[in-house]
Structure 1
C-alpha cells in the first residue's frame, strides 16, 4: 500500500488538473442535470450531481480493471515497456492540450467514437434526470464518452501491471475530477472561471507534461529505484550499528 499511495495521489492530481478539459466534455450535461430542478431544491441538485459523478467514476474504475488485465498479462514482457512509453507520450500530449499548445490529442478520441455511437442513444433516453438511480446510470454510461484525458490515464494505469491497482488509480483519477464538475453543476461561476484562465491551464498542462516525462522509462527511473533500494538497505542495516 505504501508503494500505491503516491500513485493514487498522482492519479487524483491528474484528475484535478484535467478539470478544464472535463468542463468541455461534461460541463453542458452538468448544467442540463440541474436545470430541471428548481433552484430552491439545492439538496436534490447536489444528490443528482453526486450520483451522476459516482456512476461516471465507477465506469472509469471498470475500464481501469479491464485494461489493467491487459497490462498484467504483459507485465513481464517487452510489451510492458512499450505500454509505458505509449502512456507517457499520451500524458505529454495531454499536457500540451491542456496548456493550449497542441490539439493533436483530440484525434485519439476518435478511437472510442464507434463504441460511444452505440451507448449514446441509451444515455439520451435517461434525460431529463429527476431521480438518483437515473443519474447514477447516466453517469455510468457517460463515463464511456471518448476522452483523450481518460485514455491517457487509462494507459498509465495499465502500465502499472496490476488490474486491481489500475482500477483503484482510475477511481482516484475520477474523484479528482469531482470538484470541477460539481462546481459547474452547482453554478459556482468563480471556481469555473479560475479554472478556465490561461495561466491556470498552462500550469496544469506543464505539470502533466512533467508527469509524462517522469513516466518514460529511462535512467531517472533507475535512479529513483536505486535511491529507494539504498534507503531500504540502510534502514535494514541500521540496527547492526546499535550496541547495548
Structure 2
C-alpha cells in the first residue's frame, strides 16, 4: 500500500505540466476571485455560473489562504471519488469475482495511455475526458451558489467543485484507486495524488514564474511521459504475473 501511495504522489507530480495546461485558466480565475467567465480545460470549454455581485478584493495574505482552501477542497473531492471507486472495486472483486490483479492490469494500461497522452503522442484519453463532461454539466450549476467567493467556506466549496472537472490525469489515477479494492485505500491513493499535483497549481496561483517555466518545458513533459509509460509497463508485468 505504501508503494501505491508513493506512486500516486509521483503521478500527480509528473503530471504537473498537464495540470498547468488543463487547469491554468480556471486556477487564474479562482486566484483572482473574478466573476465567472468561460475558461478552457483541454479541449473542453467550462463555464462557472454565478449571480451578478461585485467582485471581492483580497489582500495578498487572504489570497494565499484562498488558494490553499481551493486546493484543499479539490483534494477532498479527489479523495471522495477515490473512496467511491475503491469501494466499487471491492464490490466487483467480492461479488463478481473480478480479480484485483485484473484491475491492476487495467490500471497499468491506463498509466501507459496517460504517459502517451501527456507526451502528446497518443490522445485517446481526450475521449474519456469528454465523457466526464456528462457529470460536470450536472455539477457546475452549483457554482451559482458559491460565486463570488466572499468567505473561506465558499473558497473550500468552489475547490471541491473544481475537483470534479473532467481530467484524464485524474481518471487514470482513479483506475489505481479502483484496483486497490478498498474504500480507505482508494481514498488514500487519490489523497496522495492530489498532494502530488499541489506544487504545479500552487506555482501558478502564487506566480512562481521560474518554477512554472521549468514545469512547462518540453523536456520536462517528455521525461515525465517516458517515466509514466515505463512505470505502466512495469506495473502491467507485475500484475500479469500475479494473475497468471
TM-score, normalised via structure 2 length: 0.83
Match of 1:58 in 2: 76
Q: Distance in 1 between matches of 2:201 and 2:72?
A: 12
Q: Distance in 2 between matches of 1:219 and 1:65?
A: 22
Listed as ranges, the matches of 1:1-244 within 5 Å are 4-36=1-33, 41-75=59-93, 77-123=97-143, 125-218=145-238, 221=241
Q: Distance in 2 between matches of 1:30 and 1:219?
A: 37
**Contact 2:104 2:239 (8 Å CA) reproduced:** no
Distance 1:71 1:168, change over 3 A: same
Deviation at 1:34, TM superposition (A): 2.5
Q: Distance in 1 between matches of 2:233 and 2:104?
A: 11
**Contact 1:214 1:221 (8 Å CA) reproduced:** no
Deviation at 1:38, TM superposition (A): 6.0
Q: Distance in 2 between matches of 1:13 and 1:208?
A: 9
What per-residue deviation string (whole Å, max 9, x for no partner) do you get for residues 23-59 of structure 1? Answer: 12221122112224768x2211110010000000000
Match of 1:232 in 2: none
Question: RMSD in angstroms over aligned alpha carbons?
Answer: 2.0
Deviation at 1:75, TM superposition (A): 3.0
| Stretches of structure 1 lacking an aligned partner (at least 5 in a row) | 223-244
Question: Quick check: which has more Rg, 1 or 2?
Answer: 1
Which of the two has greater helix per residue?
Answer: 1
Deviation at 1:137, TM superposition (A): 0.2
